[in-house]
Chain A
Amino acid sequence: MAKASKKYELRLYIAGNTPRSVTALNNLKRYCEEHLKGIYEIEVIDLLVNPQLAEGDQILAIPTLVKKVPEPVRKIIGDLSNEEKVLVGLDIRPARQ
């Protein structure tokens, strides 16, 4: 279980309003409501609007979810359809051995 004191800063990089971006955002919101209620912030960055921001977070794939805080920085690429992998990626759930 995640500690309540932790705050999650999440950034979702998308490129235009593609179906894949929409799916990813919906999936993300659902997971956050379920597991991180009240301690998360989602910032959606559209690279078509701000292409210069891609370099900073080393974005290659679209969509990419970046967890800036808490450390370590993790990236989850894809439409986030696999809940298990997303939760492991966000360190909400420990990876299965």
Chain B
Amino acid sequence: MAKSKRSLQPVLTDKQLKKSPTGITGLDEITHGGLPQGRPTLICGGPGSGKTLLGIEFIVNGALKFKEPGVIVAFEEKSDELATNVASLGFDLSKLQRDKKIKIDYVHVDKTEIEETGEYDLSGLFIRLEHAITSIGAKRVVLDTIENLFGGLSNDGILRSEIRRLFQWLKDKGVTTIITGERGINTLTRQGLEEYVSDCVILLEHRVRNQVSTRLLRVVKYRGTVHGTNEYPFLIDEDGISVLPITSLELKYPVSRDKIASGIPSLDQMLDEGRGFFRGSSILISGTAGTGKTSIAASFANAACLRKERCLFFAFEESPQQIVRNMRSIGMNLEAHVENGLLQFHSSRPTVHGLEMHLVEIHKKIQQFNPRVIILDPITNLVTIGTVSEVKAMLIRLIDFLQRKQITVLFTALTLNSSVTEQTDEGVSSLVDSWITVRDLESNGERNRGLYIMKSRGMKHSNQVREFIITRKGLELVDVYLGPNGILIGSAREAQQLEEVTGQALKSHGHTRRDREIQRKKTVLEAKIASLQEEFESLKDELYRTQQEEQLRQEILEKNRMELVKKRYLNENASKSGKGNGKSK
């Protein structure tokens, strides 16, 4: 049960294999800590694949960084030749030798000088190695390349058994050893050294495709530990070897809620809260030729520098001077930022080296400069040196890396007029967080630029097409007019604007006239209302009077009738019984 939960992270316990860090960028990550300590490692590869350099870096880094002195046994080059060869990388082997941090022993084998008669062994080599190791207390040994012995001595049987004995002897001594070997036709090494080295085998390759060469490193075998199994591209430059374990499998990185402005206020307004893009996000600007992609990129860079953030600009089409000059015409002073050290350009043609190498280089520049914002202009050109899927894979890794470091990246990409706008050539649209498209809108015999936001993850954004104008003062977005004849842009829009102003004047004039008319109407109507009121009053009076008269008449009639009735009763009583009359009243 517990075994299945084994972590991929190197947790060094006593039982686990101890490792010697190589100090080579990336290699220690791939091997989860370095080469197996106290055991031999075979580095094989063709001529010029960097075997010797890897070995020397292992020794030099050991001596300088890890306090482990090392011995280089050179079978190919004399020690001063070796020193000259690596001096360009900043390694001073002679000084290190004087300081007793390393020792170089040149073993010369020349078949013409040697006659073999009878039995022998290689004790001489053992004794020399022993002497070298003990004289500086070495912990690391490089044998470069022991296969040369096969050229100098003819008795293969003796050689093989002696080499086997040597590796065992080195193991017993507890020194970490690198053995280099020339790549064979069907085997890893010409002499099958891999038979004797069973702990760790690293293969270096130099592959040329489309006239672009890429160096590749692969850990073929590493007993007793997990390791990266892919082919990793590596770079040899003035800092030596750097390998990049760039395929990150996890999608786990911190995200920021911070927003950063694009340098175009009206573009920020199109996004949620009007504050621009998320920090650490990836932004794609795609568009047809001449739509101002580089200008948008430059204004993004400009904005970053104005915020006092470092920005790294990778230009694959133009030289830095060209960009600086061109951007000055639209009101951006990039030169000042370059002088302040906030902006750094890195211009190269994509065909300078392979895709992976570009990635390695971008990584390196980022590590050196530590920018908050980087710009790649344009990524389209990378397709010339790789297939679409390769470019996509490279960009995935780049975005992974950048997001882990919370660096905001802006790509520009060229789309062809004929191609579908929902997909960029590089197929990166699904990778990026925000995608802005600039398109040519052709109408009324002129070309104008329309900008819209295709997507912007995690924020509301405008769905409107805006007209994108490049002015002397910078970039601006203007609302387009949506009329019965479609959207109006450029001079049509301006005409529409003028028309609107005219309309406005006419309208305001009309307003005052109508107001007066209303006033007049009101007075008239008010007078009419008053007269009607009077009429009504008199009518009311009339009606009232009639009603009163009628009521009065009614009353009087009633009274008269009552009187009459009374009178009649009186008369009747008087005639019938005159005696009771006095009592009743």
Contacts and interface: CB of A to CB of B under 8 A. Distances in A.
B118 A15 contact: no
B149 A81 contact: no
Contacts of B107: 58, 60
B124 A64 contact: yes
Contact of A15 (B113, B116, B117, B123): B123
Nearest to A52: B131
A23 B120 CA distance: 11
Interface of B: 105, 107-109, 113-125, 127-128, 130-131, 149, 153
Please give me the 5 A-B residue pairs with the lowest Cβ-Cβ distance, nearest first. A89-B115, A78-B118, A81-B118, A51-B131, A79-B118
A64 B114 CA distance: 9
A68 interface: no
Contacts of A72: 113
Given A60-B107, A60-B149, A85 B115 contact: yes
Nearest to A77: B120
Interface string A41-67: 000000110011011001111111000
Contacts of B117: 76-82, 85-86, 89
A73 B121 CA distance: 21
9 contacts: A15-B123, A20-B119, A55-B105, A61-B120, A74-B113, A78-B119, A79-B117, A82-B118, A85-B117
B118 A47 contact: no
A75 B118 contact: no
Given A60-B109, A77-B115, A78-B116, A51 B127 contact: yes
Given A54-B131, A60-B107, A86 B115 contact: yes
Contacts of A77: 114-117, 120, 153
B127 A47 contact: yes
A22 interface: no
Contacts of B114: 74-77
Interface in A1-57: 13, 15, 20, 23-24, 47-48, 51-52, 54-55
A15 B127 contact: yes
A13 B119 CA distance: 14
Nearest to B155: A78
Nearest to B121: A62
Contacts of B105: 55
A74 B113 CA distance: 5
A62 B120 contact: yes
Contacts of B130: 51
Contacts of A89: 115, 117
Nearest to B109: A60
A61 B128 contact: no
A32 to B, nearest CB: 15
Contacts of B108: 58
B115 A61 contact: no
A58 B120 CA distance: 15
A92 interface: no
A89 B130 CA distance: 29
A76 B109 CA distance: 12
B257 to A, nearest CB: 66
B159 to A, nearest CB: 10
A63 B117 CA distance: 10
A89 B108 CA distance: 18
A59 to B, nearest CB: 4
Q: Pick the most buried of A24, A59, A78, A89: most chain B CB atoms within 10 A of its CB.
A: A78
A54 B119 contact: no
Contacts of B122: 60-62
A54 B114 CA distance: 16
B113 A73 contact: yes
A20 B490 CA distance: 99
Contacts of B109: 58, 60
Given A64-B124, A76-B116, A89-B115, 6 more contacts: A51-B130, A55-B105, A60-B122, A60-B124, A75-B114, A86-B115
B113 A75 contact: yes
Q: Pick the most buried of B116, B118, B125, B128: most chain A CB atoms within 10 A of its CB.
A: B118
A68 to B, nearest CB: 12
